[in-house]
Amino acid sequence: MKNKVFLILGGTGSVGSAIGDIVEKEGAIVCRHGFDAGDYQADLSKDGEAKKLIEKIIKDRGHLEGIINSISAPVKIAPLEKKTWQDFEKHLSVQLKAGVDVILSALPSFKKQGGDIINILTNYVVGDPPASLSDYVTAKYAVLGFTKSLLRDLGKYQIRVNAVSPSFIRNQFTKDIPEKLDELLAAQSSLGRLTTVEDVAKAVLDLLQKGETGKHIIIDGGYVEINSL
């Protein structure tokens, strides 16, 4: 991994930061994207911003070997009847559109040399999702579908595609969810604790080091299950 260049979408958030840190320790060059912070700032909900982002990274670094998409929007609990299309649109724009635009912009480079794409999802796409998170869950299912399509379409170019789906993580995106739920959620996990950003970062590093493709890693409070996309 030494000197390989990785773009972390949402790289200034807690999950993205942990991924960037662990990958950097292995000698990789990390480009941390953020909406209003980080090495590479961009509002990826706007048309054309993804293309500019990729062009700048390749101009600065000369090459790009991987994209890790940990971008998300704040999660708010509300029953479906209190949601609006704008709530769904925000999550789809932040999570799906951003990833689609960035990956399409990077494809010309990836098709020449191969590369890695890892999308960070949620374990809510496995089994029954909770109530009152319909906008967030819908967007994550959309990203899962996109990930599966990438795997089928890009393998011939030696582009590896994987997903990591952690259970609930207490971070800046879940600050509006009552903390009293933490104990309940921890009790439901296999090891009696919440999933941490370090759990996610270790799973991402493992995928990159092993050169895996087509894997869907589900993380539940430290317990790891490996499925196929």
> Looking at residue 61, which CATH number applies to its domain?
3.40.50.720
Average pLDDT over residues 189-197: 74
Instruction: Give dist(CA 205, CA 202) in Å, integer.
Output: 5
Q: Reduced to 3 states, what is the DSSP secondary structure of residue 204?
A: helix
Mean pLDDT along residues 43-65: 96
Q: Each residue of 162-186: b (16+ CB within 10 Å) or e?
A: bbbbbbbbbbebbeebeeeeeeebb
| Total domains present in the chain | 1
pLDDT 10s digits, 91-147: 999 999 999 999 999 999 999 999 999 999 999 999 888 899 999 999 999 999 999
User: What pLDDT score does 130 carry?
Assistant: 84
pTM for the whole thing? Answer: 0.91
Backbone φ and ψ of 7, nearest 5°:
-95, 125
Least trusted range by pLDDT, from 57-66, 73-82, 89-98, 100-109: 73-82
* Rounded CA separation 44/50 (Å): 6
Q: Which domain, by its residues, includes 140?
A: 5-228
